Amino acid sequence: MKVLLPDGTSREIDSALSGFEVVNAVEIKNKRSILAMECNGELVDLSRTPFGDEVVLVAGDSDSGRGILRHSTAHVLAQAVLELWPGSKFAIGPFIQDGFYYDFALVDNGRFNDEDMERIEAKMRSIIKANQRFVREELSIQEGLDLFGNQPFKREIIEGVAHLDDSEDANEGVSDKGVSIYRNSETFVDLCRGPHVPSTSYLGSFKLMRVAGAYWRGDEKRDQLQRIYGTAWESKDALEAYLVRLDEAERRDHRKLGMELDLFHFPPEIGGGLPVFHPKGALIRHLMEDFSKKSHLLGGYQFAWTPHIAKSTLFEVSGHLEWYKDGMYPPMEMEGATYYPKPMNCPMHILIYKAHQRSYRELPLRLFEFGTVYRFERSGVLHGLARVRGLTQDDSHIFCAPSQLGGELSRLLKFIIELLKAFGLEDFEAELATRPAKSVGEDYEWEEATNALEYALSQSEIPYVRAEGEGAFYAPKIDIHLKDAIGRRWQVSTLQVDLQLPQRFDMEFVDSDNTRKRPYMIHRALFGSVERFFAILLEHYAGALPTWLSPTQITVVPVKESNHEYAESIARALTQIGARVVVHGANEPLGARIRRSKLDKTPYILVVGDRDVAAQTVGVNRRGSDKPETDVLFSAFLDEISGELVPTPLVVTE
């Protein structure tokens, strides 16, 4: 059989009775770095007999390997808690991005504290040191129920086998054929699909992070549980590097920066997930939106504006009430009609299209709006500006003839990337999300839309992967992801080809042969939402936004009162070329005024004293530099700064 090694090379071996034999049969410097294998696309334990023509060895420093490490560590966490608190109940413990968690209900409604975290970690390390093997077993449904007789959450998972549309249960090792379990001691057993590391000794580079509340099945009407979060990595160095990134992420947290820089806050009088923007924050929003609007106008878009609420009948036709009602705000009854705050802008843009008969000469019709939509996110998932209940989308809907679809998608991808680059973002990748299990439309329609999206991606320079089954209920989509300054991945732009809404709204255009045809519809949010993109930019730049986005671009600081008039003349000259300037008068010590400007993340601080007044110069403190420049001719500084103040709108026509 063919064996693919982690370094990308391959070997041929005759046969093997287990993954361990495969590992021993090939040359690998560190054999313990191999945690599992992949056969015919399925991850399996090394104890299993390989199947298929090709075996892929999975190392701990790969995405799959880290998932296995984290899931295995979650099992050890559950084992430690049950040994320390006998009689406790455990629910589910999946791996997540950069870590894992496990949910528990302690006996007598006990609560975890900081000292408990230390005890649990110590118990986990003793389990790891014991080198306990992870052993898989297959049981019948009844055997599984008997085994977990005193564990109600596990029993519910097993009893729900008839409803396996819920992938969470499938991941727990339950199917209509039976139950898979893993033991790693005589006393601990857990439901699990696997795979796991060969033994607990493969683990150890982990840390428990925090405790949070959680509801069973995410339902606030069900049992309230305690969730322990942790992280696990393939080595001590990788763990320490991650903890450094966490510290840096905390320093960059947009919620913290928003308060420190006086940009926004979330008043409790308004409610969770609904921010108010202070003057500085509102100015940044304006600058973001203004640049985007100018670029869209040059790109052939037309502006639209739509109201915040609509009758329920609109969302019945669009399908939102059928598919998204649980995430919508409650209805309002007025004058015999039911109204909803809009969760999406697309139905209203369709009404603009349908306001009169359309000709092929009008296509493609590109409508654009900064439209605020409302979605009732659960309080547990709200996260500053990154997850809100009222979000403003830079929403565009493009209506085109079938023959125009490929060209529009390629042009649109180019426009998205160029606009994101204008904000200083460079590292992109994409996901092509295909048809989910719950969806509407014919197979050929989905295939046509998916092929068009994939063609556009192939024409771009963006690396991409297919995310099978992750599309919206009505359309496949492209999600654009970016990496920020500390390597975190953010999903921003979304691009969808929709063949369903044009049918549901009976949209038409008159073609060149005078026949009526159905247009294609492209949904596109470039920022994703203004609020989320604002948060991404704040964290990417650690609050030190590019000069053109900074609320105050230049601070002028006179050394003493007699220099104030010269400072004001400098400010006037800068204002005339479009700069946003503040003069910090000599009413407090010079060092304090400079420090305040630095804390405000001001890009340029100009210090002027007697010598500058005489020579028409300035002292320049550039943000990020510890070495001020002295005796800089003010005229030279004006020439230098003029290109940073206002960005040039994009022109992307092909």
Report DSSP state, residue 333.
E
Query: If you compute the radius of gyration of the chain from its CA atoms, what whole number of angstroms results?
Result: 29
- Check whether 479 has a pLDDT greater than 90: yes
How confident is residue 459, by pLDDT bands cut at 50, 70 and 90? confident
Rounded-to-integer distance, Cα 368 and Cα 525, Å = 10
Rounded-to-integer distance, Cα 392 and Cα 632, Å = 43
| Residue from 16, 62, 27, 24 nearest 43 by CA | 62
- Check whether 167 has a pLDDT greater than 50: no
pTM listed for this prediction: 0.83
Segment 615-624 mean pLDDT? 95
Domain 2-59, CATH number (from 3.10.20.30, 3.40.50.2300, 3.40.109.10, 3.40.50.2020): 3.10.20.30
Rounded-to-integer distance, Cα 68 and Cα 43, Å = 9
How is the chain split among helix, strand and coil, in percent rounded to 5?
40, 25, 35
397 annotated ligand-binding residue: yes
| Residue from 284, 330, 318 nearest 544 by CA | 284
CATH number of 547-645: 3.40.50.800
How confident is residue 323, by pLDDT bands cut at 50, 70 and 90? confident
346 annotated ligand-binding residue: yes
Rounded-to-integer distance, Cα 602 and Cα 553, Å = 6
Location of each CATH 3.30.930.10 domain in the chain:
260-306+343-540
- The single residue listed with the structure tokens 């909803």 is 340
- The single residue listed with the structure tokens 């989308």 is 393
Provide φ and ψ at 431, rounded to 5°. -125, 135
| Residue from 545, 534, 456, 450 nearest 490 by CA | 534
- Check whether 163 has a pLDDT greater than 60: no
How high is the pLDDT of residue 19?
92
Task: Give 109-139 pLDDT, tens digit per residue.
Answer: 889 988 899 999 999 999 999 999 999 999 9
- Check whether 429 has a pLDDT greater than 90: yes
- Check whether 169 has a pLDDT greater than 80: no
Q: Taken in order 573, 574, 577, 578, is the CA torsion positive or negative?
A: negative
The span from the first CA to the last CA of the chain, in angstroms, equals 48
CATH 3.90.1150.10 fits 260-306+343-540, yes or no: no
Rounded-to-integer distance, Cα 285 and Cα 595, Å = 26
540 annotated ligand-binding residue: no
Report DSSP state, residue 549.
G
- Check whether 166 has a pLDDT greater than 70: no
CB burial of residue 229 (10 Å; 0-12, 13-18, 19+): middle
Q: Which residues have CB under 8 Å from 341's CB, separation 6+?
A: 308, 309, 328, 329, 373, 374
Give me the chain's average pLDDT, please: 92
Segment 139-145 mean pLDDT? 91
Which one-letter amino acid corresponds to residue 334?
Answer: M
**Cα→Cα distances 394→20, 422, 463, 537, 541, Å:** 53, 16, 24, 16, 22
72 CA to centre of own chain:
25
How high is the pLDDT of residue 586?
87
Location of each CATH 3.40.50.800 domain in the chain:
547-645
Q: Which residues have CB under 8 Å from 593's CB, separation 6+?
A: 557, 584, 586
How high is the pLDDT of residue 174?
63
Give the active site residues: 346, 375, 393, 395, 397, 477, 523
Rounded-to-integer distance, Cα 30 and Cα 27, Å = 9
How confident is residue 219, by pLDDT bands cut at 50, 70 and 90? confident
Location of each CATH 3.30.980.10 domain in the chain:
64-249
How high is the pLDDT of residue 654?
58
Cβ atoms of 485 and 420 within 8 Å: the answer is: no
How confident is residue 173, by pLDDT bands cut at 50, 70 and 90? low
Segment 456-462 mean pLDDT? 87
How confident is residue 165, by pLDDT bands cut at 50, 70 and 90? very low
CATH 3.40.50.2300 fits 64-249, yes or no: no
